Amino acid sequence: MSETLPEIYTRLAGEGRLEPDPAQQAVLPALEELRQTLEAGPVRKRKGLFSKAPVAPTGMYLWGGVGRGKSMLMDLFHASVDIEDKRRVHFHAFMQEIQAGLHEARKTGVDDALLPVAEEVMRGVRLLSFDEMQITDITDAMIVGRLFQRLFEGGVAIVTTSNRPPDDLYKDGLNRDIFVPFIDLLKDRMAVRELVSPVDYRQNRLEGQQVYFHPVDATVRDEVSELYEKMSGGGGSPLILDVKGHKVEVPVFRNGVGRASFWDLCAKPLGPADYLAIAEAVRVLFVEDVPLLSSENYNEAKRFVTMIDALYEAKVRLIMSAADEPERLYLEGSGSFEFERTASRLREMQSAEWAS
């Protein structure tokens, strides 16, 4: 018999690969029960005389503060479920796929574009694991309820992490009353569990850790890459955000940790709303290869200032590699005087006190 989730957790703790946490351990039995249900095979209930409809096992909505180990627990669960028909995806990326699928389905003239899109999602999938569920876009808010209802009707179990309880999803959003039934659906079909650990493990991984690197050379690049692996768990895929009808991309993203170069984020015509969307979507952001700033790259420098303001206000943990110290990044040209505030913020964002 294979190890149970509590046994796997205990073994990893014994190997020093994770720090035992009672709040995390309290969630494991429910996840183990779901794992066993999925591995036992699809459950079907009779509907009419002959047809049978699949029954979706009760999923889990795991929420709590940043760095409490939600993504780690979900990854541990997802990897341990011994079935092939499963998928783990970041919620933002998933909703982008859904919107793209709806766009294509509408071209065919189908009466209800959501039905073929949902069928495509369910093809060969009995478990969907979502990371970082949050709803900020009205287009997502208007379709997610019907989508999840169809997934549940198709027998798909859903496990998701979020920084917010279900009742705070799409809080203060436009036409939120239309969205409320989705919250009720989540609470009916998923076990809502709060991870109440007082420890921010992501912050602990940065305790005493250098977070601002200069000047950029091969050694610095290796150190930054190593730190990204440590913070994210390695790997990643693009995070594409839909902001007021256009796409904003963070090239690499995993477990709430984004990674991009200065040119990825500041050489494109992005504005305050775009940087606010990035700050909302990530908890840690690596920004690499920030050059010296001057009148020659004035537009890029202005965007950089706007981006730092958004990250600062959202309390996003910033890891940065740059050509020089913050106070020496922008020494001449229009905008250099205003940059003094940005340099001050960059200094402040390096401190453990600011991040906590």
Q: What is the pLDDT of residues 167-199, one digit of tens each?
A: 999 888 888 899 999 999 999 999 999 988 776
Q: Which residues contact 36 (CB under 8 A, 6 or more apart)?
A: none
Q: How many CB atoms lie under 10 A from the CB of residue 213?
A: 18
Q: Distance between CA 68 and CA 139 in Å, rounded? A: 30
Alpha helices in 65-113 (DSSP H): 70-80, 91-107
pLDDT band at 46 (very low <50, low <70, confident <90, very high): low
Q: Which residue from 150, 138, 151 is spatially nearest to 179, judged by alpha carbons?
A: 138
What are the pLDDT digits (tens) for 260-301? Answer: 999 999 999 999 989 988 998 888 999 999 999 988 899 999
Residue 337: φ, ψ to 5°: -65, -45
pLDDT > 90 fraction of the chain, expressed in percent and rounded: 57
Q: Which residue from 286, 278, 283, 282 is spatially nearest to 227, judged by alpha carbons?
A: 286
Q: In the prediction, which pLDDT does 331 show?
A: 86
Out of 34-38, 233-237, 240-244, the most confident range is 34-38
Lowest mean pLDDT of 101-115, 278-292, 337-351, name the range. 337-351
What are the pLDDT digits (tens) for 138-161? Answer: 888 889 999 999 999 999 999 999
Place of tokens 């709430």: 256
pTM above 0.75, yes or no: no
Q: In the prediction, which pLDDT does 83 show?
A: 95
Mean pLDDT of 220-237: 89
Q: In the prediction, which pLDDT does 242 show?
A: 79
